[in-house]
Amino acid sequence: MMGRALLLIVALGLAGCGTTGALGGASPSAAGSASGRAFPGARPQVVEPTAGQQADPVAAGAPVGDVNAHAPPLAEVKRELRLELIAAQVTSATYIDPLRYVAVWERTDQGVDAILPVGAPILAPCRVKVLAIIPDWYAGQPLVYFELLDGPEAGRVQYVAEQITDIAPAGSILQQGQAVARYAASGTAIEYGWSTPNGITLARATTGYEEGEVTPAGRSMRAWLNSLGANAGSG
């Protein structure tokens, strides 16, 4: 899902699935816990994806956004993240599965790809700070970076990208269980992974990345999700 914009990703140093546009805001999420909300079909399945294989877009129609948008300079992305980062201290707090409502798990690449029911939330695994939003990251779809503020991974940065909407505004602090974003009606599924504080996915920063390649960073994210009961398979 990322090959069409690979040159832009490399230039930006951003990892994941596609092109980026100017940094900016996005519509606020319907904050609050998603517990108790029913999403038909949200029964996570252990599906063992083939390395490099990815499903077709789950819904028809052009993604929302400018598919021809140009990437902002990497320095701008770094600056945006630097302004928002908190020196979070490691704590004994525990995490919840941020992808509780996954219906189908997809491939491992820079992160982990997944399909959710439309409207299902991507949950804050602990208290988090939303650092920056890239509105046109891939095929007119956004990416959002957020920092974990509690637990053994406090201070680390995660991202979720592509088929998302209702993203919490940059600078906002969400409590555990609140929605970072929601699964949109059309697009190319989501990718959830680790990032660096410099706006470069951990996969690119450590081992590099080629389209469809299974990376240690992606495997690390799948293992982390499984440790929270995600039942994501080995991918």
CA distance 47 to 81: 34
Three-state DSSP at 99 gives coil
Grade residue 25 by pLDDT with cuts at 50, 70 and 90. Answer: very low
Segment 95-115 mean pLDDT = 94
- Distance from CA of residue 174 to its chain's centroid? 16
CA-based end-to-end distance of the chain:
16
Are 55 and 1 a contacting pair, CB within 8 Å?
Answer: no
Report the CATH fold assignment for 3-227.
Glucose Permease (Domain IIA) (2.70.70)
CA distance 145 to 199: 8
pTM here?
0.71
Segment 50-54 mean pLDDT = 40
Segment 196-215 mean pLDDT = 73
Segment 222-228 mean pLDDT = 96
> Looking at the predicted structure, is the pLDDT value of residue 115 above 80?
yes
Lowest mean pLDDT among 38-42, 84-88, 218-222: 38-42
To the nearest whole number, what is the mean pLDDT of the chain?
Answer: 75
CA distance 119 to 131: 22
Helix (H) or strand (E) holding 47: none
Grade residue 123 by pLDDT with cuts at 50, 70 and 90. Answer: very high
Grade residue 188 by pLDDT with cuts at 50, 70 and 90. Answer: very high
Rg (CA), the chain: 16
Q: What pLDDT score does 169 carry?
A: 96
Lowest mean pLDDT among 176-185, 187-196, 202-211: 202-211
Alpha helices in 54-121 (DSSP H): 74-84
Q: Which DSSP string corresponds to 117-152?
A: -TT-EEE-SSSEEEEEEEEEEETTEEEEEEEE-SST
Q: Which of 19-28, 72-81, 90-99, 131-140 has the highest mean pLDDT?
A: 90-99
Grade residue 83 by pLDDT with cuts at 50, 70 and 90. Answer: low
